[in-house]
Amino acid sequence: MAMQQKVSRRRVLASAAAGAMALGLATTPLRAQGKVIVRIGSVFRVGSIVPDAQTEFQRFLREYSKGEFDVKFYPSESLGDATARNAMLQAGTLEISNTSAENIAPYVPFFNALLFPYVTGGQNGDPKQCVLNGIKISEKKEFAEAVTKASNDKGLVFGFWTPLGMREYCTTPRVNRVTRSPDDFRGVKVRVAGSLVESRLFQMMGANPVPIPGPEIITSLESGVADAAHLDAVSIDTQGFYKPMNRITRTLFYPVLNLYVASKLWYDRLPPRLQKAFMQACHDASEVQRTQFIKADQEAFEFIKKQNIDVYVPTAAEFAKLYDAVNYKKKEWEPVIKQLVGDVETFNRLVAM
């Protein structure tokens, strides 16, 4: 059964209220000693190799606000998982959060646009180029404008993209085979995040997508609730997801373009000088982070291989079979594209390179 793409307003407000109550967060911008407190919720720990420019972003916020922003970083999901943080952003009880496109897609369906398989290439077997193609698409004027509007319509302000590499198909020893063709996915229970596209992708392969929150990935793989997952190498390394795994297949379905978003309720209450400071910090952090993702991805794979995890790269012929099975141009995707992004013609124009 396809995952529900819309999150009810009641659920959003209830989750946000609960989070705000638990953390003592206010619904208006907090000030202390003349400064505006800016809380950034994150899934990643302090000092990790994640190339999302988290340190630089905080520094830029302080610098461009001339010290008026008092930035507080909350790592390792200490403000809750992505669903909780997204709800808090919409309710105005959290200022800024990083997230994945998959996890924010239920709130802003347009973020599925770059998740349709092979939109950024991949069939040529070049992971780096896939990510760079994703960045190229995201920087197109029409695409950027669509992202801004879609975010604002859902109570969010888009900040900047933070590419982490490609999502990898990761299996536990219970999947006792190398993934070489679409048939090798058949019957496998695959952990997925919040994107309808990701779920439909594995359904088309004959797998069984299982929605599981990030904090439960390791236990679900260890217990057999899921036998595989679709994760990027940096997260596999930094969050310990490698522990239940024994094989990774570089299917290159789509890149991981994580992002920073802010609460529109919070942003709209800022004076113009601080809105400008926020946007400038986002721009400069974006410039910094894109120089980091390649190194971080390489370091992550070096670590993964040391854990005796086999990394399999499909042959050109095998890539062709994967592409033919699920690429975004197939007719089966048209109803999903219309539901999440808009008409197919507009979608094709937005993602064209």
Question: Which CATH superfamily includes the segment(s) 9-351?
Answer: Bacterial extracellular solute-binding protein, family 7 (3.40.190.170)
Query: Rg of the chain over CA atoms, in angstroms?
Result: 20
Q: Output the CA torsion sign for 26, 102, 209, 77.
A: negative
How many angstroms separate the CA atoms of 321 and 339, rounded? 27
DSSP 330: S
Write out 55-85 in H/E/C secondary structure: HHHHHHHHHHCCCCEEEEEECCCCCCCHHHH
How many angstroms separate the CA atoms of 44 and 81, rounded? 11
Burial of 248 (0-12, 13-18, 19+ CB in 10 A): buried
Whole-angstrom CA distances from 310 to 235, 266, 315, 327 are 17, 46, 15, 26
The domain locations on the chain are: 9-351
Beta bridge partners of 156: 263
Report residue 92 as tokens.
């105005």
Give pLDDT tens digits along the chain (353 positions).
334 444 444 444 444 444 444 444 444 567 767 799 999 998 877 666 555 688 899 999 999 999 999 999 998 788 988 889 999 999 999 999 999 898 899 899 999 999 999 999 976 778 989 999 999 999 999 999 999 999 999 999 999 998 888 999 999 999 999 999 999 999 999 999 878 999 999 999 999 999 998 889 999 999 999 999 999 998 899 889 999 999 999 999 999 988 999 999 999 999 999 999 999 999 999 988 888 888 888 889 999 999 999 999 999 999 999 999 999 999 999 999 999 999 999 999 999 98
Strands (E), the chain: 31-32, 35-41, 69-74, 96-99, 156-171, 189-192, 208-211, 228-232, 247-249, 255-263, 310-312
Which region, left, alpha or beta, applies to residue 193 given φ > 0 means left and ψ of -120 to 50 means alpha? beta
